[in-house]
Amino acid sequence: MNHKTCLVIGGTGGIGRAMVEQLVDSTSEKESRQVFATYHKNVPDFAAENLHWIPMDICDEQSIKQAVDVIRQHTTHIDWAINCAGLLHTATQQPEKALRQVETEFFLQNMQVNALASLLIAKHIKPLLASACRSNDNPAVFATISARVGSISDNQLGGWYSYRMSKAALNMGMKNLSIEWSRSLKDVCVVVMQPGTVNTQLSAPFQGNVADGQLFSPAYSAECLLEVLSRMTAAQSGSFVDWAGESIPW
């Protein structure tokens, strides 16, 4: 029996919750899963025997460390860590349409949630990935949901300074990490992913221009992303891919 231990950060978000539900449910006779999932402001409203909820504020390194300490009490290793937390708008601020709307606090909040957090999570989770049983074809995974709008070469529209810049910074951070870990932590695949345009509270104000059939349900996006992850090899570490596994230019 194949056993996987998975960690989903942002497990109460739109895509994160769908990931948690599918990982918990995919336990079968051939494969069993233990799932750790983190929550922040929204308290989780579902439970399962193989699911363990832990609080984590990804803007607070001490909170990340404490969550990892709790995980360590239950498992020796993590096979897959998937960061689904992210920020596009807040109750009071929308992404910028023009330069005059750029504000320091919102910009730094985007950088902290979307870019810095994955680095800090990687820093603390590394020993648990290091203890995973892995190979090139079956690597440990450190995945973060990024966004196509973080691609510099794909940028045709402009706008959304804080979000675009924070996702571009995330992408650089994860590329850097993939290079460092290719030397110091073999057979781990570091990947940043575009989930499609997904029907969640994050995209809700911006769904007007989405073409028919192009707005994914969280369940569909999560299923596609998990399928892509299941096919990743360690040799593909440092990739930026979409929900179909297609490579996205930096």
Ligand X SMILES: NC(=O)c1ccc[n+]([C@@H]2O[C@H](COP(=O)([O-])OP(=O)(O)OC[C@H]3O[C@@H](n4cnc5c(N)ncnc54)[C@H](OP(=O)(O)O)[C@@H]3O)[C@@H](O)[C@H]2O)c1
Distances (CA, A) of 39 to 12, 94, 238: 6, 23, 27
The single residue among 200, 222, 232, 239 that binds ligand X, judged by CB under 6 A, is 200
How far apart CA 217 and CA 222 sit, in angstroms, is 9
Stretch that binds ligand X, among 34-42, 74-82, 183-191, 225-233 (CB under 6 A): 34-42
Q: How many CB atoms lie within 10 A of CB 155?
A: 14
**Minimum distance from CB of 13 to ligand X (Å)?**
2
Q: Does 59 bind ligand X (CB under 6 A)?
A: yes
The answer to whether the beta carbons of residues 52 and 35 sit under 8 Å apart is yes
**Minimum distance from CB of 185 to ligand X (Å)?**
24
Q: Does 173 bind ligand X (CB under 6 A)?
A: no
Q: Does 58 bind ligand X (CB under 6 A)?
A: yes
Our CB check for ligand X shows the closer of 140 and 143 to be 143
The answer to whether the beta carbons of residues 82 and 11 sit under 8 Å apart is no
Q: Who's near 92: CB < 8 A, 6+ residues apart?
A: none
Helices (H), ranges, 34-116: 61-72, 104-110
| Residues 207-226 close enough to bind ligand X by CB under 6 A | none
**Minimum distance from CB of 152 to ligand X (Å)?**
16
Residues that bind ligand X (CB under 6 A): 10, 12-16, 40-42, 56-59, 84-88, 113, 145, 147, 195, 197-198, 200-203
